[in-house]
Amino acid sequence: MSGAHDLVAVRLHDGVDFDEWRQRARELLRAGVAPERVSWRCDADDDLFATTDVASLPTVAAGTTVPRDFLSLAERVLAHRDARRHALLYRLLWRLTHGEPQLLRIVTDDDVMRARAWEKSVRRDLHKMKAFVRFREVRYDDRASVFVAWFEPEHFIVERVAPFFVRRFAGMHWSILTPDRAAHWDGESLRFDAGASREQAPDGDALEALWRQYYTSIFNPARLKVKAMKSEMPMKYWKNLPEASLIPQLIREAQPRAQAMVQAAPTTPRKRMTTPAPPAQDVATADSLQQIRRQAQDCRQCELYRPATQTVFGEGPADAEIMLIGEQPGDHEDLAGRPFIGPAGRLLNQALEEIGLDRKQLYVTNTVKHFKFEPQGKFRLHKRASASEQGACRAWLEAELARVQPRRIVCLGGMAASAMFGSEFRLLQERGQWRTLAEGRQAFATVHPSYLLRLPDERDREQAYRHFVRDLSLLVQNR
C-alpha cells in the first residue's frame, strides 16, 4: 500500500488512449494522490520502476464532475508528442477539482497556456494530415487495388484522424503508414497496428502523374503568394507530395502566365438555357421539393437569371432536421449548380466535420438562388444581391422551409439573418444565440464562411474561425 507521500508510478499501456488515461486519473483523484506524487509511464518507456496498481489505492475522496471543456481539451492534448502531457493534464484536473473550477478561463496560467498551445499544435497537425495525405495505388495480382499513403505527423494523431479518411474514402481499401502507427481500412472495418517505415510505402505511379497534372491545371498564377503557400503547405510535407516537385517551376512561370491570362480574351461562362419565361408559378401549391426545384430553374422574378448559368437551388434530404441558409451562390456554385461547393463551402464542410456533423444530413441552401456578378476581364466578380432581388427570391426559400420543415436553422451571414429575423437583426451582437421562429423552429445566425476567408491576418482568421465553429457547435449541444 502507498503512503501519503510515496511516489505513485502509473503505467499506461497506450499513451494516447484517452479512456485509459481518464480511468487512471479518476482512480488517482479518488485516492487523493496529488499530481507531484505521480510519475506517468507508458509501456514503451523501458524502465525498471515498479508500478502501482492504482485501482487498488484506498478511496479518500468522492468522485467529482469535470467541466466538459476540460475533456475535449484533454482529448487533444493527449495526442501531443511531449512525454509530459499526462502529468500536465492530471495537474489541470487536480486543480480544477481542488478549488480552481474556473482555471481554464485563466489564459495566463502556465499550465493552461501550455495545454492550449499543445492543443493548437495537435489541431494544426490534424488539419495538415487531412490535407496532405496522398494515396498511391498498389495492385496485388488480380485482386482489387489497395491505396497506400506514407505520412509523418508531428503528433500521435493517427487514431483521431482515421475516421475522417474512412468517411472520405469509404469505398476504397487503404492503409496509412506512419512511423508511430498504421491505419488500415478494408471497406468494412478500421484496424490499427504498429508503425512502419518509409520503404514500406510505394513510390510513384500513374495516380501520381494524374495528381501532378491536376495540380498544374488548378494552380492559379494570378493568386500566387509564396509566403502564404509555404505556411499553408509547410516545406516539411513537400517530400511526400507528388505535386511539390512542380512548385518551383510553377513559381518561376507564375508571372508570365499571369500576364498572359490578363491579356487573353475574356471567356464567357457557359450560357444558360434560354427557355421562354414560364407562366406564373404558384409555388405554394407545388407538392414536392423536386417539383419546386424544377420550377425554380425557370424563375424570372428578377433580372439575375439573365447572366447566370443556372438557378442554384438548395440540396440535402427533404426531411432534414437542420437547414443551413447562406447568402447567394458564387462563381463555382453557378457553374456546378450546387450550393456551397467553392472555397467558402470547403471551410463550412471543415467546420461541420470538426463538430461531428455530416453535411449530407443537412439541407443547405441560399437566400438568393442566382449568382450576381460583374464581369472584369476574364473574371466574374461577386456582387451582393439588392434588397429587391432578395425579396424576389423569398418565395423559393419559403417553399423550401415549408417542404423540409427543419427543426433547427442556421443563418450564415447578414443576408440570411435578415431574411429570417428581420432587418433589425445585428449579426455581430446577436450571433450564436438561439431564437424561436414561427412553428416553434429554433434558429441562430453566425458569420458567413467567406467573411473568414477574407480576413487578411492569419491569427485573426484562426480566431474568427474558432468562434464560427463554437457558434455551429450549438447544433450538437443538448437542446
Considering only 125, 243, 315, 327, the residue that binds ligand URA (CB under 6 A) is 327
Q: CA gyration radius for the chain? A: 27
CA triplet 115, 117, 122: central angle to 5 degrees? 95
- Provide the minimum distance between the beta carbon of 286 and ligand URA in the complex, in angstroms, as a whole number: 22
User: Other CB atoms closer than 10 Å to residue 419's CB: what's the count?
Assistant: 22
Residues facing residue 193 across a β-bridge:
182
- Provide the minimum distance between the beta carbon of 359 and ligand URA in the complex, in angstroms, as a whole number: 12
Q: Which of residues 359-398 bind ligand URA (CB under 6 A)?
A: 366
Phi then psi for 322, rounded to 5 degrees?
-120, 135
Give yes or no for a contact between 445 and 427, defined as CB atoms under 8 angstroms apart.
Answer: yes
Choices 2-10, 106-114, 141-149, 341-349; region in contact with ligand URA by CB under 6 A: 341-349
Confirm or reject binding of residue 340 to ligand URA (CB under 6 A). Answer: yes
- Provide the minimum distance between the beta carbon of 218 and ligand URA in the complex, in angstroms, as a whole number: 18
Question: Which residue, 316 or 339, has its beta carbon nearer to ligand URA?
Answer: 339
- Provide the minimum distance between the beta carbon of 94 and ligand URA in the complex, in angstroms, as a whole number: 46
Nearest CA to 273 out of 298, 295, 294 is that of 298
The residue number with the shortest CB distance to ligand URA is 326
Length of the chain: 479
Confirm or reject binding of residue 329 to ligand URA (CB under 6 A). Answer: yes
Question: Which residue, 223 or 230, has its beta carbon nearer to ligand URA?
Answer: 223
Question: Which residue, 35 or 330, has its beta carbon nearer to ligand URA?
Answer: 330
Long-range contacts of 116-122 (CB under 8 A, 24+ apart): 116/73, 118/76, 118/77, 118/80, 118/82, 118/85, 118/88, 119/73, 119/76, 119/77, 119/80, 121/80, 121/154, 121/155, 122/76, 122/77, 122/79, 122/80, 122/155, 122/157
Question: Which residue, 301 or 365, has its beta carbon nearer to ligand URA?
Answer: 365
- Provide the minimum distance between the beta carbon of 176 and ligand URA in the complex, in angstroms, as a whole number: 31
**Residues in contact with ligand URA, total (CB under 6 A)?**
13
Write the binding mask 401 to 440 for ligand URA: x where contact by CB under 6 A, - elsewhere.
----------------------------------------
- Provide the minimum distance between the beta carbon of 317 and ligand URA in the complex, in angstroms, as a whole number: 18
Instruction: Give Cα separations from 332 to 71, 295, 369 (angstroms).
Output: 39, 22, 13
- Provide the minimum distance between the beta carbon of 327 and ligand URA in the complex, in angstroms, as a whole number: 4
3-state secondary structure of 388: helix
- Provide the minimum distance between the beta carbon of 171 and ligand URA in the complex, in angstroms, as a whole number: 27
Which residues, in sequence order, are CB contacts of 424 under 8 Å at separation 6+? none
Residue 287, CB-side half-sphere exposure with 13 Å CA sphere: 0
Considering only 307, 314, 330, 406, the residue that binds ligand URA (CB under 6 A) is 330
Q: Which amino acid is at 329?
A: P
Considering only 27, 119, 315, 333, the residue that binds ligand URA (CB under 6 A) is 333
C-alpha cell at 267: 471567356
Q: Which amino acid is at 129?
A: M
Give yes or no for a contact between 149 and 177, defined as CB atoms under 8 angstroms apart.
Answer: yes
Alpha-helical runs (H) found in 33-140: 68-77, 85-97, 110-132
Question: Which residue, 92 or 335, has its beta carbon nearer to ligand URA?
Answer: 335
Write the binding mask 443 to 472 for ligand URA: x where contact by CB under 6 A, - elsewhere.
-------x----------------------
Q: Which residues bind ligand URA (CB under 6 A)?
A: 326-330, 333, 339-340, 342, 344-345, 366, 450
